[in-house]
A and B are shown apart, each in its own frame.
Chain A
Amino acid sequence: MDFFNEMMDGGEVRVPYKHLQAWIDSHSQDEFRIKRAEAETIFRRIGITFAVYSESEGSTERLIPFDMMPRVFTEREWRKLERGIKQRARALNAFLWDVYHRREIIRAGRIPGELVYRNEAYEPSVIGVDPARGVYSHVVGIDLVRTGVDEFFVLEDNCRTPSGVSYMLENREIMMRLNPDLFRTARVLPVDDYPRALRRTLASVAPAKCEGAPTVVVLTPGSFNSAYYEHSFLADQMGAELVEGQDLFVDGDFVYMRTTRGPQRVDVIYRRIDDAFIDPLCFRPDSMLGVPGLMNVYRSGGVQICSAPGAGVADDKAIYTYVPEMIRFYLGEEPILQNVPTWRCGDADSLKYVLENLKDLVVKEVHGSGGYGMLVGPAATKEEIAAYASRIKADPADFIAQPTLALSTSPTFVDSGLAPRHVDLRPYCLVGKDIHLTPGGLTRVAMREGSLVVNSSQGGGVKDTWVVSGE
């Protein structure tokens, strides 16, 4: 398989990376080793760790490996991506409004009703509810892979609470702290406006009943959650309170936060807990994380929950295959970013093809996330493939399959020195009164040679992502 090398084109350094090459040439490998150690110390000190879940070892906390070499886009490359990402974010929100209201796309026969109505993420209790400005997914994380100079594919959409944005911000900060010389000469577009943009987005979806400046809070499941660092980081950066379910209560038409100065009404909740745990009266009665009655207040228009409950139906892997259709249906436009060709194992013909070609395919659970429970055909043993095949046969509709993509590589500093490693990209698109995309995102990198799995839970690392202007 041929892989697109983002830095090298034959023997030539590609334009976006020219500046970086000069910087690499002016430093020795030992200098990079020292810088890498410094970066690790800083990460440990500020406490960015994440929990890895494994059935055999239980949960362990670990640092995500940070790679010193940035991943670079030119502004021109980025502008095209930006148009495609914003287009997708608009279409996904239009779809969410539609499936909870008139269901035009189903009536028009463009998406099978079954796929929506029987989807676990489709939430009957919010049918007919009008979220502020009609927005359901306020932070859309779109996972992209690159396979050529002008070829990008969307791997998946994340419409609920995509995580990782704190790495985008911290990676940049650490890069600037360790390599100020690099930023003096390269014109890298800033990412540090993200927390302000997030706050502006959240404030712009305050409910109509809100009087004066909206009170925004970040709702976290608590410090045991793998993304707790990010929750507290974002709350701090936005100047919003970080709360747990027990800090909030409902009374009459509204939600209040307990404070030392007495109850304070809350208008917008940026929640980082799943739908199922939001309100024990509406969802799981055994949930201790949520706020009893919160869904009643939301549904009667007293508070905005971000992302809106039920938004997950748009990022389901079976729905994913219909996103290009959504773009055409709601926006009357052709998709700027392509989907990865996907076989839905629920279709008999596709199932047959998938089972016959497992060794070449990547198979995922429709409702899974984070790279857990997937099969990477080319890297799997015969036994693993046979075991996975019987899982697929037991419940075909729960699986989708995609070709193994030739993920592009970016130079990465590994033990043997600088070497190409495979990368993907998650930019964060904000949707409120306006649509905003910070020029950058989270680049994940497979640290192991030849590996195509970039998930942090599977040993992936992260890089700073640059958009350089004027080159």
Chain B
Amino acid sequence: MQITVEHTSTYRFESPRMRVVQSHKLTPASNGGQSVSDWDVSVDGASFGAGFRDGAGDNVCLMTLPGPVSEIAIRVKGSVTTEDTSGILMKHKEVVAPRVYLRSTWTTAPGIGLRALAQRVSSRKAGTLEGAHDLMGIVAEEIAYVPGSTHADMTAAEVEEQGRGVCQDQTHVLITLARILGMPARYVTGYLFADAEGNSHEASHAWAEIHVADLGWVGFDATNQCCPDDRYIRVCSGMDAQDAAPIRGISLGSGDESLDISVSVAAQQ
């Protein structure tokens, strides 16, 4: 499938900001399931540099803007040809040892409730593909998809306690459960093309990748209860949502800021 993406993130500042510096992971890398043909990131007045591919195989780039600015629009535009690989991440160049993804972060620290959930998977299934599917099912049962029910820096333990959340929260719970069972797991940020019945706010999406012996990394979308197929574009990954954030930035100045995101993901015939 050929998918085109237009994604604009607009930051608006109450009072103008100086010396804006952002680290971007906005450009997907090609792998066995996706071929990135053209992709462009642009910001008026900004300079880009220090590009490299990190150990996890993600493209990283640095943006600086001297300012003063009261608004920054980061425009991402590109197209990708995708193939269904049944969720298996293939031919993705990376050098990080999978076991590094057994570390827990502040957001994915296991709590009593999460440990109890993980116990529902029988120990002989831990580490297997079947075990990973079971975990995805448990998340679907326990964490209802309710938009607006959580805030951005909620931990997996808090989400588990209240029993609902959005794709970020479901993914955090899933990777925490996998790590409890000794399965390396990571957070993936990307795009999802949804057809007429699909939800538009899911166009910018998140899911988990769990490392399974013999297969390698396999994607699990807890929100949609499936493994990513040719409707998905994988952009970048990390230990949790913060680590996998496509934009991390800082600027000089005070006052509130707001972020407005518009995404359109379309399929071409």
Chain A interface (Cβ < 8 Å from any Cβ of B): 101, 103, 106, 113-114, 117-118, 122, 124-129, 249-254, 280-282, 285, 292-293, 296-297, 299-302
Judging by beta carbons under 8 Å apart, are B48 and A280 in contact?
Answer: no
Measured in the bound complex, the distance between the Cα atoms of B239 and A280 in whole Å is 17
A-B contact pairs, 8 of them (CB 8 A): A127-B56, A127-B96, A251-B49, A252-B48, A252-B64, A281-B21, A292-B250, A296-B50
- From A302, which residue of chain B is reached at the shortest CB distance? B50
CB distance A125 to B100 under 8 Å?
Answer: no
**Complex: A450 Cα to B96 Cα, angstroms:** 49
Interface string of B47-64 (1 = CB under 8 A from A): 111111011100011101
Tell me which residues across on chain A come within 8 A of B97, comparing CB atoms.
103, 106, 113, 117, 127
A101-B95, A128-B55, A282-B23 known; A253-B102 Cβ under 8 A: no
Q: Which of B221-261 contact A (CB under 8 A)?
A: 239, 248-250
Question: Is there an interface contact between A296 and B103, defined as CB atoms closer than 8 Å?
Answer: no
Task: Collect the chain A residues with CB atoms within 8 Å of residue B54's CB.
Answer: 125, 127-128, 299
Q: Which residue of B lies closest to A126 (CB)?
A: B55
Which residue of B has the minimal Cβ distance to A253?
Answer: B49
Taken together as a complex, chains A and B put the C-alpha atoms of A125 and B238 apart, in Å, by 10
Instruction: Given A293-B50, A300-B50, verify A117-B23 contact (CB < 8 Å).
Output: no
Alpha-carbon distance A388/B38, docked complex (angstroms):
61
For A254, A293, A297, the residue with the greatest tally of chain B CB atoms inside 10 Å of its CB is A293
A292 contact set on B, CB distance < 8 A? 21, 250
Given contacts A292-B21, A292-B250, 19 further A-B pairs with CB under 8 A are A117-B103, A118-B102, A124-B96, A124-B100, A127-B54, A127-B55, A128-B55, A128-B96, A250-B50, A252-B50, A280-B250, A281-B22, A281-B248, A297-B50, A299-B60, A300-B49, A300-B51, A300-B52, A300-B60
- B99→A251 contact, CB < 8 A: no
A-contact 0/1 string along B13-31, CB 8 Å cutoff: 0000001011100000000
Sorted nearest first, the 10 A-B pairs with minimum C-beta distance are: A252-B49, A127-B55, A128-B55, A300-B52, A292-B21, A300-B50, A296-B62, A253-B49, A128-B95, A296-B50
Cβ A250 vs Cβ B21 within 8 A: yes
- Determine the chain A residues whose CB is within 8 A of the CB of B95 once the complex forms: 101, 127-128
Would you call B100 and A117 a contact (CB within 8 A)? Answer: yes
Taking CB atoms and an 8 Å cut-off, the chain B residues in 88-147 that contact chain A are: 95-97, 99-100, 102-103
User: Would you call B99 and A114 a contact (CB within 8 A)?
Assistant: yes
Q: How many residues of B contact A (CB 8 A)?
A: 28
Set B23, B55, B56, B100: member contacting A293, Cβ < 8 A: B23
Considering the complex, give the chain A residue whose CB is closest to the CB of B63.
A293
Distance in Å: Cβ of A113 to nearest Cβ of chain B = 6
In the bound complex, residues from chain A placing their C-beta under 8 Å from that of B50 are 250, 252-254, 293, 296-297, 299-300, 302
Q: Hey, which chain B residues are within 8 Å of A253, CB to CB?
A: 49-50
Please state if B60 and A296 are interface contacts (CB–CB under 8 Å): yes
* Pair count A-B, CB < 8 A: 90
Q: How far is the CB of B52 from chain A (nearest CB, A)?
A: 4
Interface residues of B (CB under 8 A from A): 19, 21-23, 47-52, 54-56, 60-62, 64, 95-97, 99-100, 102-103, 239, 248-250
Whole-angstrom CA separation of A368 from B99 in the bound complex: 25
Contact in complex: B23, A281 (CB < 8 Å): yes
Q: B98 — nearest CB in chain A belongs to which residue?
A: A117
CB pair B64–A113 under 8 Å, yes or no, is: no
Closest residue of chain A to B184 (Cβ to Cβ) is A117
Residues of B close to A296: CB separation below 8 A = 23, 50, 52, 60-62
Q: Within the assembled complex, what's the spacing in Å between the Cα atoms of A127 and B102? A: 16
**With contact pairs A251-B47, A282-B23 given, residues A293 and B103 touching in the complex (Cβ less than 8 Å):** no
Residues on A with C-beta less than 8 A from B100 are 117, 122, 124, 127
| A281-B249 contact, Cβ under 8 Å, with A103-B97, A296-B23, A299-B52 | yes
Task: Output the nearest chain A residue to B51 by Cβ-Cβ distance.
Answer: A300
**A117 in contact with B64 given A252-B48, A293-B50, A300-B51 (CB within 8 Å):** no
**Pairwise interchain contact A129-B55, C-beta atoms closer than 8 A:** yes
Determine the chain B residues whose CB is within 8 A of the CB of A117 once the complex forms.
97, 99-100, 102-103
- Closest chain-A Cβ to B213's Cβ sits at a distance in Å of 15
A455 to B11, CA, bound (A): 50
In the complex, A128→B55 CA distance in Å?
A: 5
Q: Which residues of B contact A101 (CB under 8 A)?
A: 95
Kindly state the separation between the CA atoms of A113 and B96 in the bound complex, as whole angstroms.
12
Determine the distance from Cα of A400 to Cα of B102 in the docked complex, in whole angstroms.
23
The residues of B that contact A293 with a CB separation of less than 8 Å are 21, 23, 50, 62, 64
Instruction: Using CB atoms, name the residue of chain A closest to B100.
Output: A117
A118 to B182, CA, bound (A): 12
Closest to B23 in A: A281
By beta carbon, the residue of chain A nearest B238 is: A124
In the complex, are the beta carbons of B62 and A297 less than 8 A apart? yes
Cα distance A297–B21 in the bound complex, in angstroms: 12
Give the docked Cα–Cα distance between A254 and B99 (Å): 33
Contact B102 A250 (CB under 8 A): no
Contacts of A249 in B (CB 8 A): 19
CA distance A46 to B147 in the complex (A): 63
CA distance A230 to B100 in the complex (A): 36
A210 to B188, CA, bound (A): 36
From B248, which residue of chain A is reached at the shortest CB distance?
A281
CB distance from A366 to the nearest CB of B (A): 16
Q: In the complex, how many angstroms separate the beta carbon of A240 from the nearest chain B beta carbon?
A: 23
User: When chains A and B are docked, how far (Å) is the Cα of A129 from the Cα of B103?
Assistant: 20
Instruction: List chain A residues, Cβ under 8 A from B51.
Output: 300
What's the minimum C-beta distance from A393 to chain B, rounded to whole angstroms? Answer: 20
> Which residues of A lie under 8 Å from residue B96 when comparing CB positions?
124, 127-128
Cβ-closest chain A residue relative to B104: A118
Report whether B103 and A252 are in contact in the complex, using a CB–CB cutoff of 8 Å: no
- Give chain A residues whose Cβ lies under 8 Å from the Cβ of B250: 280-281, 285, 292
